[in-house]
């Protein structure tokens, strides 16, 4: 622990600043990470929630740094003292030297040292600026000009737990039985003689794994058509009145891996939803229709006629209408205003981003859940349709272990018959079998491959071809106004091959802001953070041709940028400063030549796609044009993992459109099933 404390206090030291502009800034500079209790929380993450391929290496390194020989081996001459016995543990090295050591790690030619710096910097800074006290406040917020949760929605709820531990699912058997009863479904409980653990069986028409923009659409469409639907969701349900709109609490409870998912080399930090509603519950509302050049590519180059059909256009119209997509905006945030004005002055194209909310919906906290339901995610649309139809139920806090299947007479391939679901019932882990006529996997591009592989599928494309829409930031004064309302396509290459970068703006809160900001010293970093409320952010998002592998996620996530992706991201960066034209050109030239992988700040991703891509040949794709897997009948995939390539724009409308089309294919299967004798499915025995 002493080496972790030493690193935390080197990143965020206590600095005496008697000439500070005000008392809050003086206290901020004086508050070290250890005084704030950050090392204990970081330690809890490392020993509890954190899942990464380098975790064991991180633990081993921290232990080595608690010894003199380990410190010398890792830190070199900077760790030595001028007095006998010369060698010191990291905790004994003066703070100034420790800062020099950390800075050398950030740009070290040794990959392991760069990994060490990136992982610890991200963890320490994110937790330091998001942890809260018993009043739900962080002592740094006043100094950096951050108001905390939306002032119009402030409520005194329990602070972020420390140390954090995963919360048990809220789906005890009694609650499940009651919810199923309201949906006209039954729950039969038997006792497994081998283990003595109660096992329940639910029978339905369709089981959907995942409640995001893919699964939510399928569930809503099928339930409205009169079919009994069970939605299995790994995340929890967060009602509006239960939201805290605190960054740390939302990350812990609504994001995959507490918002701390990264590629194996930590070169890309990944945000993905893990709650009822999936990404649609925590995204930035952007609702961009599938670009014409992408539809043409998927139709012509990949042979997928769906994307050139009237049916796809009609489906896109239907999902946009259900989400209330519109392009009006009454007030823009500082970030979007800067982007729009800058593009106008430079003669660059700039457009208003369609959103699934009203034009006067102002919320810089929608990435932590929508406070008033104004953002029409699946919880406010398709899942609501399912609930109001009386034909479906959501099981939150439940993990689909595998898809059940069996060989049946007259079928060349195994037939999916449901899923095995795990949840925590009190102190005991429980299992439920959900039997169905059709199974739909919609866990997202990170989790769907895992479910398919655990179910025995062996198609070589499952888990490969992952695209991330990599993002680089250019360094919002206020959070009022729509999070994302303006976009420029100046380097998007829409008129040629469609592989370029679009320029947009993010939501900005202290935790994520601090984790992405460059760190050169403790004092410099704290000075940068005092300008948090006066900093405008713009980012470039690339339609990547590079790809990754998630077959062993969450333990490992491999990803490599293509050389063209780096070029597109570098071309999308805007740098504005007071300088001569010659100085500006020199700066842009240097920035353009520096490889993204060698920078100390990570690339980011909020969109994952392509890991179970759709196609016309099982040798090059994981699912067929209807979304059904090549290896198993009645097992469909309906999420961003089916994208044949990277999309290049925010994917919510596209994934909902594909899911809507997949739901039509499932309806055809169910109609054929109902034609069986007596309305019963002779394959599964379900009526």
At 523, is the pLDDT very low, low, confident or very high (cuts 50, 70, 90)?
very high
- Give the residue from 445, 476, 436, 510 showing the smallest Cα distance to 684: 436
Do strands 538-542 and 501-504 pair parallel, antiparallel, or not at all (unpaired)? Answer: antiparallel
* Residue-averaged pLDDT of the chain: 87
At 577, is the pLDDT very low, low, confident or very high (cuts 50, 70, 90)?
very low
**Does the pLDDT at position 684 exceed 50?**
no
> What is the Cα–Cα distance from 411 to 292, expressed in whole angstroms?
38
* Residue found under tokens 């995204």: 283
Of residues 193 and 167, more confidently modeled: 193
pLDDT of residue 475: 67
Per-range mean pLDDT, top range of 339-343, 419-423, 474-478: 419-423
The segment(s) of the chain belonging to CATH 3.50.50.60 are 172-242+371-462+618-675
DSSP per-residue string spanning 114-131: HHHHHHHHHHHHHHHHH-
Of residues 167 and 40, more confidently modeled: 40
CATH level 3 topology of 172-242+371-462+618-675: FAD/NAD(P)-binding domain (3.50.50)
Instruction: State the average pLDDT over residues 546-565.
Output: 94
Of residues 375 and 429, more confidently modeled: 375
| Runs of H (alpha helix) within 90-213 | 95-106, 111-130, 141-144, 173-182
Instruction: State the average pLDDT over residues 239-246.
Output: 88
pLDDT of residue 506: 86
At 173, is the pLDDT very low, low, confident or very high (cuts 50, 70, 90)?
low
pLDDT of residue 567: 85
Rounded (10°) angle between helices 55-64 and 38-47? 130
Q: Which residues 6+ apart lie within 8 Å of 259 measured at CB?
A: 126, 251, 252, 271, 512
pLDDT digits (tens, 9 = 90+) for 89-120: 999 999 999 999 999 999 899 988 999 999 99
pLDDT of residue 160: 43
**Does the pLDDT at position 566 exceed 70?**
yes
Percent of the chain, pLDDT > 90? 64
> What is the Cα–Cα distance from 500 to 601, expressed in whole angstroms?
21
**Does the pLDDT at position 576 exceed 70?**
no
pLDDT digits (tens, 9 = 90+) for 351-401: 999 999 998 887 789 999 998 889 999 999 999 999 999 999 999 999 999
At 49, is the pLDDT very low, low, confident or very high (cuts 50, 70, 90)?
confident
> What is the Cα–Cα distance from 250 to 236, expressed in whole angstroms?
11
Query: Do 652 and 356 meet the contact criterion of CB atoms below 8 Å apart?
Result: yes
Lowest mean pLDDT among 216-230, 343-357, 418-432: 418-432
Per-range mean pLDDT, top range of 26-40, 46-60, 421-435, 530-544: 26-40
**Does the pLDDT at position 572 exceed 70?**
no
* Residue found under tokens 């659409």: 217
pLDDT digits (tens, 9 = 90+) for 113-166: 999 999 999 999 999 999 999 888 999 999 999 999 988 776 544 454 443 333
**Does the pLDDT at position 676 exceed 90?**
no
Query: Do 356 and 322 meet the contact criterion of CB atoms below 8 Å apart?
Result: no
pLDDT of residue 674: 76
pLDDT digits (tens, 9 = 90+) for 630-652: 999 999 999 999 999 999 999 99
> What is the Cα–Cα distance from 666 to 270, expressed in whole angstroms?
32
pLDDT of residue 353: 94
At 687, is the pLDDT very low, low, confident or very high (cuts 50, 70, 90)?
very low
pLDDT of residue 478: 44
**Does the pLDDT at position 170 exceed 90?**
no
pLDDT of residue 272: 96
> What is the Cα–Cα distance from 529 to 248, expressed in whole angstroms?
17
Lowest mean pLDDT among 159-168, 498-507, 549-558: 159-168
Catalytic residue among 361, 465, 509, 607: 607
DSSP per-residue string spanning 490-520: EES-TTTTS-SEEEE-----HHHHHHHS--S
pLDDT of residue 168: 37
pLDDT of residue 187: 76
Backbone angles phi, psi at 406, to 5 degrees: -160, 160
Backbone angles phi, psi at 643, to 5 degrees: -60, 130
> What is the Cα–Cα distance from 630 to 98, expressed in whole angstroms?
55
Instruction: State the average pLDDT over residues 513-523.
Output: 93
Query: Do 439 and 636 meet the contact criterion of CB atoms below 8 Å apart?
Result: yes
**Does the pLDDT at position 656 exceed 60?**
yes
**Does the pLDDT at position 457 exceed 90?**
yes
pLDDT of residue 683: 44
3 state SS for 343-382: HHHHCCCCEECCECCCCCCCCCCHHHCCCCCCCCCHHHCH
> What is the Cα–Cα distance from 271 to 291, expressed in whole angstroms?
23
**Does the pLDDT at position 176 exceed 80?**
no
> What is the Cα–Cα distance from 411 to 414, expressed in whole angstroms?
7
- Give the residue from 451, 442, 446, 454 showing the smallest Cα distance to 636: 442
pLDDT of residue 196: 41
**Does the pLDDT at position 665 exceed 50?**
yes
| Runs of H (alpha helix) within 110-238 | 111-130, 141-144, 173-182, 215-224
**Does the pLDDT at position 560 exceed 50?**
yes
| Runs of H (alpha helix) within 207-274 | 215-224, 247-254
> What is the Cα–Cα distance from 595 to 435, expressed in whole angstroms?
51
- Which tokens is 368 given? 């932590």
pLDDT of residue 578: 40
Helices then strands, each counted (H, E), the chain: 22, 20
pLDDT of residue 494: 86
pLDDT of residue 191: 59
Residue 361 is among the residues annotated as catalytic for this protein: no
> What is the Cα–Cα distance from 216 to 370, expressed in whole angstroms?
17
> What is the Cα–Cα distance from 524 to 512, expressed in whole angstroms?
18
Percent of the chain, pLDDT > 70? 87
pLDDT of residue 483: 57
pLDDT digits (tens, 9 = 90+) for 524-553: 999 999 999 888 888 899 999 999 999 999
In 233-326, the DSSP E strands lie at 261-262, 268-270
Sign of the dihedral defined by the CA atoms of residues 329, 330, 335, 336, in that order: positive
pLDDT of residue 648: 95
Neighbours of 310 (CB within 10 A): 7
Query: Do 245 and 207 meet the contact criterion of CB atoms below 8 Å apart?
Result: no
Instruction: State the average pLDDT over residues 70-87.
Output: 92
Residues making up the annotated binding site for FAD are 204-219
**Does the pLDDT at position 8 exceed 90?**
yes
pLDDT of residue 264: 92
**Does the pLDDT at position 666 exceed 50?**
yes
Q: Which residues 6+ apart lie within 8 Å of 96 measured at CB?
A: none
Instruction: State the average pLDDT over residues 58-70.
Output: 93
């Amino acid at each position: 622990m002493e080496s972790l404390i030493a690193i935390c206090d080197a990143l965020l030291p206590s600095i005496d600043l008697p000439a500070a502009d005000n008392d809050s800034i003086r206290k901020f500079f004086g508050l070290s990470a250890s005084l704030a209790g950050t090392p204990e929380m970081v330690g809890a993450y490392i020993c509890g929630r954190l899942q990464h391929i380098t975790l064991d290496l991180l633990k081993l390194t921290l232990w080595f740094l608690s010894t003199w020989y380990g410190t010398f081996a890792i830190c070199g001459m900077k760790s030595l003292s001028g007095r006998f016995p010369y060698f010191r543990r990291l905790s004994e090295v003066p703070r100034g030297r420790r800062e020099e050591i950390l800075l050398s790690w950030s740009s070290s030619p040794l990959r392991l040292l760069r990994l060490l710096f990136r992982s610890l910097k991200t963890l320490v800074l994110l937790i330091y600026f998001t942890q809260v006290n018993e009043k739900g406040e962080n002592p740094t917020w006043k100094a950096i000009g951050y108001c905390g949760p939306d002032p119009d929605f402030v409520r005194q709820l329990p602070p972020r737990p420390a140390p954090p531990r995963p919360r048990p699912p809220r789906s005890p058997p009694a609650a499940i039985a009651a919810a199923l009863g309201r949906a006209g479904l039954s729950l039969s409980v038997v006792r497994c003689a081998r283990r003595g653990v109660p096992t329940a069986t639910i029978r339905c028409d369709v089981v959907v794994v995942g409640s995001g923009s893919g699964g939510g659409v399928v569930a809503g469409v099928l339930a409205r058509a009169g079919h009994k639907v069970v939605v299995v969701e790994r995340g929890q349900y967060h009602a509006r009145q239960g939201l805290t709109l605190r960054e740390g609490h939302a990350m812990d409870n609504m994001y995959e891996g507490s918002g701390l998912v990264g590629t194996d080399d930590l070169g890309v930090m990944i945000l993905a939803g893990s709650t009822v509603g999936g990404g649609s519950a925590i995204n930035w509302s952007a609702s961009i229709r599938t670009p014409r050049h992408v539809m043409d590519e998927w139709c012509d180059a990949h042979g997928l006629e769906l994307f050139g059909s009237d049916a796809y256009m009609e489906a896109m119209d239907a999902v946009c209408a259900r989400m209330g997509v519109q392009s009006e905006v009454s007030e823009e945030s500082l970030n979007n205003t800067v982007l729009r004005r800058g593009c106008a002055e430079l003669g660059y194209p700039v457009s208003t981003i369609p959103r699934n909310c009203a034009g006067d919906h102002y919320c810089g906290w929608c990435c932590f859940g929508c406070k008033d339901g104004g953002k029409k995610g699946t919880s406010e649309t398709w899942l609501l349709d399912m609930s109001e139809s009386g034909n479906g139920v959501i099981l939150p806090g439940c993990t689909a272990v595998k898809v059940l299947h069996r060989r049946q007479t007259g079928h060349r391939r195994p037939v999916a018959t449901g899923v095995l679901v795990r949840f925590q019932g009190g102190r005991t882990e429980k299992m439920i079998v959900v039997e169905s006529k059709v199974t739909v996997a919609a866990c997202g591009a990170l989790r769907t491959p895992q479910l398919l592989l655990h179910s025995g599928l062996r198609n070589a494309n499952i888990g490969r071809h992952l695209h991330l829409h990599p993002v680089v930031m250019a360094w919002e004064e206020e959070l009022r106004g729509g999070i994302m309302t303006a976009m420029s396509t100046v380097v998007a290459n829409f008129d040629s091959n469609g592989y370029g970068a679009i320029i947009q703006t993010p939501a900005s809160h202290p935790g994520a802001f601090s984790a992405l900001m460059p760190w050169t010293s403790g004092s410099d970093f704290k000075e940068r953070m005092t300008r948090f409320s006066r900093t405008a952010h713009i980012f470039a998002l690339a339609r990547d041709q590079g790809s990754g592998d998630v077959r062993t996620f969450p333990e490992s996530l491999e990803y490599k940028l293509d050389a063209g992706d780096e070029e597109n991201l570098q071309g999308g960066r805007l740098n504005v400063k007071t300088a001569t034209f010659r100085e500006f050109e020199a700066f842009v030239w240097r920035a353009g030549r520096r490889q993204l992988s060698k920078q100390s700040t990570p690339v980011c991703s909020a969109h994952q796609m392509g890991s179970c891509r759709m196609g016309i040949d099982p040798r090059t794709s994981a699912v067929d044009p209807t979304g059904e897997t090549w290896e198993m009948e009645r097992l469909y995939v309906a999420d961003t993992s089916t994208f044949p390539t990277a999309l290049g724009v925010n994917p919510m409308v596209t994934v909902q459109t594909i899911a809507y089309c997949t739901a039509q294919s499932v309806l055809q299967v169910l109609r054929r099933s109902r034609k069986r004798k007596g309305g019963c499915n002779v394959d599964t025995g379900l009526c």
